Chains A and B, each alone.
Chain A
Amino acid sequence: MGIETTFGDTILTTTIDKVVNWGRKNALWPMPFGLACCAIEMMASVAPRYDLARFGAEVFRFSPRQSDLMIIAGTVTYKMAAVTRKIYDQMPEPKWVIAMGACASSGGIFDTYATVQGVDEIIPVDVYLPGCPPRPEALIHAVMEIQKKISKESVLDK
């Protein structure tokens, strides 16, 4: 079929979307935004027992300039809100966000003057991850959901 019949196994044809998405989803570089106890579970996810490296997302970058996946791990206070937004803005496109845990997703038990009732008040969220805190398996699942989402995107979108 087509060009491959002529050249045999020496060549592969694909679409730009497929090859770019393949690259993006298998090398997610997370921006760890640890704000509370969820961050401990996030750290456990990258440690050998759970090993997020199996999904290509072990390179935690402490610079937003080098990351494309923001993991909001913990309670977002209004004091921290402006910083959260700023760091999100500093990340280059394309970028994705996981709201990890009940607090980041909805404010959790902290229905108070100080707590943002879900980080989606400030930045767009791709995956909401329930749990208080979620286990590392759950975070890995969330990363896999991000991967699924990426594979459905087109380079023209972002």
Chain B
Amino acid sequence: MSEVSAIAKRLKEKFPKAVTKVKTFRGELTISIDKDYIGKVAEFLYNDKGSDFDYLSDLCGVDKSRLDDSNTFEVVYHLYSLNQNHRVRLKVEIPASNPSIDTVTNVWKTADWHEREAYDMFGIIFEGHPNLERILTPEGFEGYPLRKDYPLKGRQPNSLREVYRKGKE
């Protein structure tokens, strides 16, 4: 297992503008990345022999709009290297008013469904995604249920429920 902080160091050397913050908590490395660089950073971490992150174990969205005044969403990437047995977490902040970010499906194919889920739940647009459609909620669903402004006991319009009653798809 190689030293995790070396990954952050190398990433900083390669993309000095991309890395906004590096944090290590209980041996877990978290790197904050600027939104414009995520595609390049992902490609680098995948191809670079030292980091060799061949596995995207998770990708998810976070609604941080109620945490402070910055009104941001966040996309979190959990990467793992099967060969080197080390992990890193990437965090990318995006504005809630325009939640869009480049896709990483060209690097990790598994990001396809993860990004669809983040789109479904938070309305985050992944630019360049091959098929950005809802994945968990049914067709015709309105709104993004995991956003903080979505009502806790929110209901879909009755017209949609009528469709289910009839059994149409």
Give me the interface of A with B, judged by CB distance under 8 Å: 78-79, 81-82, 85-86, 88-89, 111-114, 116, 121-122
How long is the Cα–Cα vector from A114 to B120 in the complex, in angstroms? Answer: 12
Q: Which A-chain residue is minimally distant from B142 (CB atoms)?
A: A113
How long is the Cα–Cα vector from A79 to B161 in the complex, in angstroms? Answer: 11
Assess the B154–A82 pair: CB atoms within 8 A: no
What 14 additional pairs, Cβ within 8 angstroms, besides A81-B164, A88-B167?
A78-B137, A78-B138, A78-B141, A78-B164, A81-B138, A82-B163, A82-B167, A112-B152, A112-B153, A113-B143, A113-B154, A116-B164, A121-B165, A122-B164
For B153, list chain A residues within 8 Å (CB): 111-113
How long is the Cα–Cα vector from A68 to B31 in the complex, in angstroms? Answer: 57
Assess the B137–A85 pair: CB atoms within 8 A: no
Grouping DSSP codes into helix (H, G, I), strand (E, B) and loop, the A interface class, with mixed when no group exceeds half, is helix
How long is the Cα–Cα vector from A111 to B151 in the complex, in angstroms? Answer: 11
How long is the Cα–Cα vector from A114 to B137 in the complex, in angstroms? Answer: 7
Residues of chain B in range 142-169 having any CB-CB distance to chain A below 8 Å: 143, 145, 150, 152-156, 160-161, 163-169
Grouping DSSP codes into helix (H, G, I), strand (E, B) and loop, the B interface class, with mixed when no group exceeds half, is loop
Assess the A113–B150 pair: CB atoms within 8 A: yes
List 3 tightest A-B contacts by C-beta distance, closest first.
A85-B167, A81-B164, A113-B154
Assess the A89–B136 pair: CB atoms within 8 A: no
Give me the interface of B with A, judged by CB distance under 8 Å: 136-138, 141, 143, 145, 150, 152-156, 160-161, 163-169
Q: How many Cβ-Cβ contacts under 8 Å join chain A to chain B? A: 49
Which of B138, B152, B155 neighbours the largest number of chain A CB atoms within 10 Å of its CB?
Answer: B138
B138 to chain A, nearest CB (A): 5
Assess the A89–B161 pair: CB atoms within 8 A: no
For A82, list chain B residues within 8 Å (CB): 138, 163-164, 167-169
B133 to chain A, nearest CB (A): 13
For A85, list chain B residues within 8 Å (CB): 164-167
Assess the B167–A78 pair: CB atoms within 8 A: no
Assess the A113–B164 pair: CB atoms within 8 A: no
A140 to chain B, nearest CB (A): 30
A101 to chain B, nearest CB (A): 20
Give 28 CB contacts A-B under 8 Å: A78-B138, A78-B160, A79-B138, A81-B138, A82-B138, A82-B163, A82-B164, A82-B167, A82-B169, A85-B167, A86-B169, A112-B145, A112-B152, A112-B154, A113-B137, A113-B143, A113-B145, A113-B150, A113-B153, A113-B154, A113-B155, A113-B156, A116-B164, A121-B164, A121-B165, A122-B164, A122-B165, A122-B167
How long is the Cα–Cα vector from A86 to B166 in the complex, in angstroms? Answer: 9
How long is the Cα–Cα vector from A156 to B13 in the complex, in angstroms? Answer: 82
For A116, list chain B residues within 8 Å (CB): 164
Assess the B164–A89 pair: CB atoms within 8 A: no
For A86, list chain B residues within 8 Å (CB): 167, 169
How long is the Cα–Cα vector from A114 to B143 in the complex, in angstroms? Answer: 12
Q: Which A-chain residue is minimally distant from B166 (CB atoms)?
A: A85
For B145, list chain A residues within 8 Å (CB): 112-114
How long is the Cα–Cα vector from A78 to B169 in the complex, in angstroms? Answer: 11
How long is the Cα–Cα vector from A112 to B156 in the complex, in angstroms? Answer: 10
